[in-house]
Amino acid sequence: MIVDSHCHLYDKKLNELRDDILKNLQKDNQIAICNGDNIETSELSILLANQNKNVYATVGIHPHEAKNFNDNSIKELKLLLNSPKIVAIGEIGLDYYYNFTEKSEQINALSKQIILASEVNLPCVFHVRDATKDFLNLIKELYKKYKIKGYIHSFSGSIETAKIYLKYNFYIGINGIITFKNANKMLDVVKFIPLENILIETDSPYLTPVPYRGAPNRPEYVELVAKKIAEIKNIDIEKVKEITTQNAKKFFSIK
């Protein structure tokens, strides 16, 4: 078994591929965690999870969508939490790279969703891009009270930043980026991070690994991420698959 810990199966780029992807998940006994990034896509994630035993869902409002976040947003998210296939609050976080939303709005949306996750006893899937300082300041402020259980999706930071996340017992998401030609820094990071703290992901349909660059990413390509991690750490790929699957099941409380 292998788990794709972060993908977006509802994305329009997968419209013509979705049926085939879902059949392959079942055929290969693979699990995919479909991440919402607003109310609409959270609903779509739940629908896909409810219809497919190998799919689980997260619900949340992405930092790009934080400008539309208000008090009613938490109520809407709570209404979505009835399905047993929901395994996390996410994809939530801070993104100052595109900065589609004011920083204060992003921080507000993130804070309130972390508190929601604590209230409903779910872990958080975090998106952090060019915003590490503010993100860590917020985590430091909230961690003791809310005991945040976190997963840093699509990590591309330094070993020093990884060390801080590990102190919080966060999982670190590794994806097809490590197969890219310019990924030298990430190879050192992957070598450093203990396998017991890694979740493997595709971010499908984005960040397609080599040799499929240019085509939409698919959950089955997570095998290529596992293969590259095995190569970097000089261990057997089956060990990578086994440990990262255990990690995902533990983090998302999947049996």
For position 71, what pLDDT does the model report? 86
pLDDT at 99: 81
pLDDT of 114: 98
Stated pTM of the model: 0.97
Give me the numbers of helices (H) and strands (E) for the chain, helices first please: 9, 8
pLDDT at 251: 98
What pLDDT digit, counting tens, does each position of 167-186 carry?
Answer: 999 999 999 999 999 999 99
Task: Spell out the SS3 assignment of 189-221.
Answer: HHHHCCHHHEEECCCECCCCCCCCCCCCCCHHH
Say how many CA atoms lie within 13 Å of 86 toward its Cβ.
Answer: 26
* Whole-number pLDDT of residue 255: 84
Cis peptide upstream of residue 205 (ω within 30 degrees of 0): yes
Domain boundaries in the chain?
Answer: 3-252
- Let me know: does 157 contact 184? Beta carbons within 8 Å: no
- Classified by CATH at the fold level, domain 3-252 comes out as TIM Barrel (3.20.20)
Low-confidence stretches of the chain (pLDDT beneath 50): none
